[in-house]
């Protein structure tokens, strides 16, 4: 396993991070524990969760993912062996965002952040979180597949300075070690940096955004922040919810797969996305690589990637995904990837 520094900290995190959003929906508690055990045996140390998980978010399952991690920690006592990351939900401004947490009040103010972190700590059965992230901004912006900025004047938003101050208090209290953002924009990242410098508050150390062969928008405005400000990418959806494995090509819907169970991932089945997936899968196979490891190896290779967050519903998938750290893409393959990207840019943002 390869390790990279988490932002400007001295904390080393594994290049492959274990995503957990299927635990409690597609995966049982026993599945979750088996995945953690295997991942750690392969050198993975980063576990990423969220208070709203599993996905799709529902009142009756909310918090199960963290609970499963908590029971694993209680059983094994291996808290020091993992870098534990989780997230606080933001306000529901888009239709798919949950409205059942805290009676619908999920503004990123001190009251809600404190209630959220205390709930996570209880479910996780730990007294501290290594990386606490804002799951999405407390404002309307272009995230979750929306490319154009929406030009919406929100009725109310919590100022970034206020949110950052609340997070700083969690660090002072010893409940959180480091903080990060997720589904954030270049403007938002700049504001967090500005607020930390102006008010003498802790800096964000990571950005958890989507990044894959089908969505390279991170490269446009955010990668420079990773370079110059040491704010690393925790790349989620590196396989495009499994689409880049090729398992959905030709209209296939494998039993138990996300596309078969849920209809919220339609952007991966658009004609442009299907064409790109077909070309990437064929390129992988021509070079004797599994499409999954090929796609993950690309994300692993980026200089701005701190950790590639993989999700799996079976141990076989998990083993294949983790083994992508052993795959190196040559310059000729990278050039062919860029050629495909230039013809079919970001078909599934």
Supply the DSSP string of 166-233, one letter for each residue: HHHHHHHTTSEEEEEEES--HHHHHHHHHHHHHHT-PPEEEEEEE-BTTB-THHHHTHHHHHHH--EE
Could you tell me if 88 and 113 are in contact, meaning their C-beta atoms sit under 8 angstroms apart? yes
Kindly tell me the burial class for residue 168, based on how many C-beta atoms sit within 10 Å of its own C-beta (0-12, 13-18, 19 or more).
middle
Whole-angstrom distance, CA of residue 111 vs CA of residue 127: 19
Whole-angstrom distance, CA of residue 104 vs CA of residue 125: 25
**Among the options 3, 38, 53, 68, which is catalytic?**
53
DSSP 3-state of 341: helix
Tokens describing residue 15: 């290049």
Catalytic site residue 68?
no
Could you tell me if 92 and 98 are in contact, meaning their C-beta atoms sit under 8 angstroms apart? yes
CB within 8 Å of 78: residues ≥ 6 apart? 40
What are the catalytic residues?
Answer: 53
């Amino acid at each position: 396993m390869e390790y990279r520094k988490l932002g400007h900290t001295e904390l080393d995190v594994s290049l492959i991070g274990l995503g957990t959003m299927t635990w409690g929906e597609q995966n049982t508690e026993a599945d979750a524990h088996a995945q953690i055990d295997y991942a750690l045996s392969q050198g993975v140390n980063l576990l990423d969760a969220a208070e709203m998980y599993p996905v799709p978010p529902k009142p009756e399952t909310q918090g199960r993912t963290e609970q499963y991690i908590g029971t694993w920690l209680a059983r094994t006592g291996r808290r020091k062996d993992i870098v534990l990351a989780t997230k606080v939900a933001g306000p529901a401004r888009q239709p798919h965002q949950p409205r059942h947490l805290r009676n619908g009040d999920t503004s990123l103010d001190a009251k809600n952040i404190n209630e959220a972190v205390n709930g996570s700590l209880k479910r996780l059965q730990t007294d501290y979180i290594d990386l606490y992230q804002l799951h999405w901004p407390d404002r309307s912006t272009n995230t979750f597949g929306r490319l154009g900025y929406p030009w919406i004047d929100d009725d109310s938003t919590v100022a970034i300075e206020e949110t950052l101050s609340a997070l700083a208090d969690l660090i002072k209290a010893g409940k959180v070690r480091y903080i990060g953002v997720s589904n954030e924009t270049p403007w938002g990242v700049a504001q967090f940096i500005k607020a930390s410098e102006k008010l003498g508050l802790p800096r964000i150390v990571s950005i958890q955004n989507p990044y894959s062969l089908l969505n390279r928008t991170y490269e446009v405005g955010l990668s420079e922040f990773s370079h110059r400000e040491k704010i690393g990418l925790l790349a989620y959806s590196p396989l495009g919810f499994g689409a880049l494995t090729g398992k959905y090509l030709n209209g296939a819907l494998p039993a138990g797969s996300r596309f078969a169970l849920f209809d919220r991932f339609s952007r991966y089945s658009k004609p442009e996305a299907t064409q790109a997936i077909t070309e990437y899968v064929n390129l992988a196979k021509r070079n004797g690589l599994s499409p999954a490891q090929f796609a993950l190896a690309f994300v692993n290779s980026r200089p701005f990637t701190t950790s590639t967050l993989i999700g799996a519903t079976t141990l076989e998938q998990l083993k294949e995904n983790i083994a992508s750290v052993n795959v190196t893409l040559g310059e000729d393959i990278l050039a062919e990837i860029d050629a495909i990207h230039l013809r079919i840019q970001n078909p599934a943002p």
